[in-house]
Structures are given as C-alpha cells and as structure tokens.
Amino acid sequence: MPICISPELPAYQALLNEHIFVMDSDRAAHQDIRPLRILVLNIMPKKLETELQLLRLLSNTPLQVDVSLLRMESHISKNTSQSHLDAFYTTLNEIRGKFYDGMIITGAPVEQMPFEKVDYWNEICELMAWSKTHVFSTMHICWGAQAGLYYHFGVPKYQLPKKMFGIFPHRTEVKKSLLLRGFDDVFDVPHSRHTEVRRGDIEKVKELVILTSSELSGVHIVANRNGRQYFITGHSEYDRNTLAAEYFRDREKGLDIEMPFNYFPHNDPMEMPRFSWRCHANLMFSNWLNYCVYQRTPFDLGELPLRNWNWEMDV
C-alpha cells in the first residue's frame, strides 16, 4: 500500500520515478481503510533531502500511511525556502487537538550546543510532552534521540573527542524486540555526530532498555519498555552518498574531518561508497510501522489519552 502525500511535494515525483507507490489525498479518501497517521518533525537542515529519505522508508510496507510534516515555529530555517515550509509543513499550534499513530523526530545540527541553548528547545519540549497523550509511538533519531532521552529521563549527552563518522557494525542485545524482528546478529548503521549518550546513564533508568549497540560507536537503539518511544543514535535513513556529501563539504571548508569509517571501498573517496545498511533500514521502519504502531494503536485515536502510559510490553 502507498504513502499519502501531496502531489506538489518535490519528493512525490522522485518516489514515483523510483517506482514507489504513492497517492494523493483525493485517491486516498476512496480507500475503505483507516490509514496510519504519521507525523514527521523535520529539523534537519536539508529538509527536502530528509523528506525523501524518510518517505522512501515509510512506503515500504503493505500499510497505507498518511504523512504530515511538522516544523518548529520558533526557528527560522536557513536552508529551506519559506514557501516550501508554508506549503507543506504545519506547526504544533495547528495540530494540537489532533492524534497520531506515530511520530518521527529527526536529528538536527545543534548537538554541540547545550540543549537549553537551542532556540527551539522550549517548543520541542512542549511537543514531546504533547506526544505522550497524542501520539502512540515516537521514533527519535540522532540529536532527536539525545533530546528525547534528556527531556523524558534526564539522560545527558557527552562531547566526543572526534566526530563519530562512518558505517559501523552493530549487534542486537534483545533478541525478541518487536523493532528488531528479522534482524541479523550483526548489521551496519551510518553515524554522523559529535556527541554521545552512555550505557551507564541509560541503565540507571528502569523504564529504558538498550536494544542494539556497537563496540565502536556505542549505544544505538534505546526503547522505553512501554513500547511507545524509541531512541536511535544513528542515521539508518541516510542515502548511499549522504556521508560522502558531508565529507566533501567539510573538506572544502578546510575543516579537520577524517574520512568516513568503513565507507569508501579501499578508503578511496573517488570510489562509489558501499550501501550496506539499506536492508536493515527498511526492515526497522517497516517493523516500527507494523508491529510497534499498526498492531497496537487504537482504531479510534481519540482513545490515546485514556491509554496507560506506564504499562509494559515486549519491546
């Protein structure tokens, strides 16, 4: 089944060109099913690129998914036109009374700043508080994961001695996790960050469990035991060339940037990067939509505030 997005969104035609099934709202209205309602808070600088990456992954299930894009009202984007934001994005104030099956909070290039110094910190805290009664399951990515762990559980982040940059092998720690169904024992994930969260801090919080980790890049996926929050420190949504673009951009700026780990064949930046994480990225997002959202969210989303937030399930 398709994802439902505006045909005017630039990603619409790009997805069609990739033979991904998308439909507009008029056609979706004639489907005799209730689509999953997914909200995406996109705070990445290259919003059009992130839109396409996430929509590509959200489309890879038999479920119909109605995607809404959200922006921070208190932040002025430097890399995305205001006309694009006005046409395709909404704000928290505009959706405050609505309910969603799932939400994704992306990363953001603010990780080296204290959380409280980020210009939209108060607004994103308000959103995360709102999500507990208006969203069934929330997936937090990279800085979004660090922000969520800090806001909800007081887990701090720490500056790394150098950027965690490349493709790192990971292992599963919880074999029966809903999010990890079908995962191999070892799988690759891209990372691009200057800060980290630490195992010792997470293990002090009884509501949290570490699902996956890497000996090289540390904690990867953390779950709330109630199954309604996932915190992911990597970027499984990245395309083949995303890290290459970051590397060449920083090198052209004269920044002290190392070659991405385990990325270019033979460590030759002129060779095409290996795309070794796509299968597990698709599997993780489809597992989230199916097992963590569709199979458990109420048919009537208005019942969400009545759900017990403190119940525990098989994560």
- Catalytic site positions: 142, 235, 237
Closest CA to 284 of 207, 169, 189: 189
Contact present, 219 and 233 (Cβ < 8 Å) = yes
Closest CA to 286 of 237, 239, 231, 225: 237
Contact present, 88 and 57 (Cβ < 8 Å) = no
Closest CA to 139 of 289, 295, 301: 289
Interstrand relation of 186-196 and 158-172 (parallel, antiparallel or unpaired): antiparallel
Contact present, 232 and 217 (Cβ < 8 Å) = no
Judged by DSSP in three states, 33 sits in coil
Contact present, 233 and 193 (Cβ < 8 Å) = yes
Closest CA to 299 of 105, 99, 103, 40: 99
Please count the residues of the chain.
315
